[in-house]
Amino acid sequence: MTNGLSMKPLVDLTVDQALAAADQVFEDQQNDGGVRGYLGMSGGGKCPRAQWFSWLWADDVHISAKGWKAIRDGFSSEDVASARIQAVPDLLLQTVDHETGRQFALEDAGGHIRGHMDGVIFHHPAAPKTPHIFEHKACNERKFKKFQKLKADVGEKATLRAWDETYYAQAQLYLLHGGYTRHWTVVSTAGCRDWDSCRTEFSRDDAEFYANRMKRIVENVGEVPERVSESPNAFACRWCDFIDVCHEGKAPNRNCRTCRYSTPVPGPDWRCSKFDELLTLDKQKVGCEAHRFRGAHIPGQPTTSETNDPAYRLPNGELWVDRGVNHDTDREGIRHRSE
């Protein structure tokens, strides 16, 4: 007590500080793992513009400790599910490509689009002569029960699409690029205490739709792809990692991938036309003083300026000139968007 007034504690005593510290360390370690250099087929059913922003590292993505725990739960549950299935004498589940000794890998667009299958199962009782791509998905109790209800309502073959279009798109892309006709999805709660499954047939029309949409992102890197909604309040947008750069006018990160001088080439590699060189992954992350944003990143009309630097007339009428990394204070001007 001081002057008759109670002092509030400096820390929240309802929170175990040791566990909070452990969560923070875990979160920092996981978020320090770097960025993905390719477009993942696992995201082929997501918003094309979000995929584009992610591939170009347009904004920093930070996942909470809780989010990382869910991801790790998914990995460990997959291991449990695979081991249980592999213990069945009459089933053959391969989780490693014997030709490479690594996970089954798929690619498209010169390697800029990639996917990694959980495995391939042979001699499934429902179709013993047909190999199936195997994929495991861990989810919470609520989503698991939704899966089971849909399976009962719409039938096994239609379940995956009705349950989660992102997973359905991933399955179709894997089927297309892997050359298979059947996909087997095993769904479980964390720890694999409860599990269920569905088989999905290959749809060439759907697979090519998702594949072509992803390839357009690579082939037209300087164009803004479509987005799922023009409203930032749409459900898919509210929880998107790129809502700030997509809807709120935040300036993208400066790196080689957001630079007008870089182009994706087969390899997968990136080439800088300014200095006529292939860019290593480390160079791409850092960029250089010559960086100038792609026009697609600027919410304004290209115009002329007194210098050779790209200039844009923003929706509020202001002239914004891209002078490069040494003038990043000017990036606040990009925030002006039309209502």
Task: Measure CA of the first residue to CA of the last residue in the chain; give whole Å.
Answer: 52
Q: In whole angstroms, what is the distance from residue 285 CA to residue 205 CA?
A: 36
Which H helix or E strand runs over 67?
helix 65-86
Burial of 192-228, coded b for 16+ CB within 10 Å and e otherwise, reads beebbbbbbebeeebbeebbebbbbbbeebeebbebe
Q: Within a 10 A sphere around the Cβ of 145, how many other Cβ atoms?
A: 14
* Average pLDDT, integer, range 115-127: 97
At residue 251 the predicted structure's pLDDT band, cuts being 50, 70 and 90, is confident
Which of 2-11, 21-30, 80-89 is most confident?
80-89
**pLDDT number for residue 134:** 98
Contacts of 64 (CB under 8 A, 6+ apart): 27
Examine the pLDDT at 33 and tell me if it is beyond 80: no
Q: Does the pLDDT at position 294 exceed 60?
A: yes
pLDDT more than 70, % of the chain: 93
Judge contact between 82 and 276, C-beta under 8 A: no
User: Which pLDDT score, from 0 to 100, does residue 338 have?
Assistant: 40
What's the whole-model pTM score? 0.90
What's the rounded mean pLDDT across residues 110-135? 97
Average pLDDT over residues 44-52: 96
Fold observed for domain 38-219: Lambda Exonuclease; Chain A (3.90.320)
Q: Which value, to the nearest 10 degrees, does the dihedral of the CA atoms of residues 314, 307, 291, 248 take?
A: -10
Three-state secondary structure call for residue 121: strand
